[in-house]
Amino acid sequence: MDIGIGLPGHAPWTDGRHLVEWARRAEARGFATVAVSDRLRWTTPEPLMTLAAAAGATDRVRLLTSVLLAPLRTNHVLFAKTVATLDHLAGPDRLRLGLAAGFREDDFTASGVDHADRGRAFAALLETLAEAAHDPGGLRPATPGGPPLLFGGTSRAALRRIATRGTGWLAGTATVDDLRAFTPGLRAAWTGAGRPGAPRVVVSAMYALGPHAASATARAIAPYYAFAGDEWVREGIAGTLTSPSRLAAAVTAFERAGCDELILTGNDPDPAQVDLLADALGR
């Protein structure tokens, strides 16, 4: 199982250069991927711009949007060119796009985008991405056919996207039980679509380490998930991996459950968290 790093864009970061330093350290310590999340109505940095900065600061580590709110990108041709540009800046076979329809209505309201129509908009964007990857008159991606697509969500529409257009499922912050509940249907949909092999399963989990792990987790998660209510906040804080022993147990459990890559997302913006994580995992 691969292990990646999720940048702490949801946490109270104040210096974007620290996020770039996270990417540098992630590559230096042998992590497979640098991932960045997406929220419009929050201080989360824009994912593609952030990954462009990370691409310029690194050479080998893979780059992942986890997940990008696809229907908010309403100029589909411009989005396709932005993706192709980032793919060239990173170099072939480094960028992967994790995409989802999005469920926060406030992000759509702020954009003037119809939340109820997001499925249709998502489908149209995917068509444009596919066409742009082979357009002789435009900027085609450096990666042949374009960057691989992973899709978030557990709906029938998400299953259909994965089985027909994707390379796998991006589970977001999920538990081992979530994984075991969803993957049988995922594999059945994949086989039913005539796809060879198996879909890639990528899961995210929150972490913070060191003497201030608990307070950093509370500062990051409580306001970020406040919209969902106190129970969600409590579960998010309780589920955060805050010790080497909990990290080791989680890595083992996810690997046994069939996870192909585990993205460990920081809750403390200090780049030293990358080294603490690498040390805890014996890297």
Tens digit of pLDDT for each residue in 238-278? 999 999 999 999 999 999 999 999 999 999 999 999 999 99
Q: What tokens were used for 133? A: 């990857």
pLDDT > 90? residue 172: no
Tens digit of pLDDT for each residue in 66-117? 999 999 999 999 999 999 999 999 999 999 999 999 989 999 999 999 999 9
Tens digit of pLDDT for each residue in 185-206? 999 999 999 999 999 999 999 9
- Return the closest-CA partner of residue 101 out of 168, 42, 145, 161: 161
Interatomic CA distance for residues 170 and 154, integer angstroms:
10
pLDDT > 90? residue 144: yes
Please report, for the chain, the start and end positions of each structural domain, with discontinuous segments joined by +.
2-280
pLDDT > 90? residue 60: yes
The CATH classification of domain 2-280, taken from the options 3.30.1960.10, 3.20.20.30, 3.40.50.150, 1.20.1250.20? 3.20.20.30
Look-up of token digits 């608990």: 214
What percent of the chain is predicted at pLDDT more than 90?
A: 97
| Cα–chain center distance at 171 | 9
pLDDT > 90? residue 54: yes
| Longest distance between any two alpha carbons in the chain, whole Å | 55
**Model confidence at 147, in pLDDT bands (50, 70, 90)?**
very high
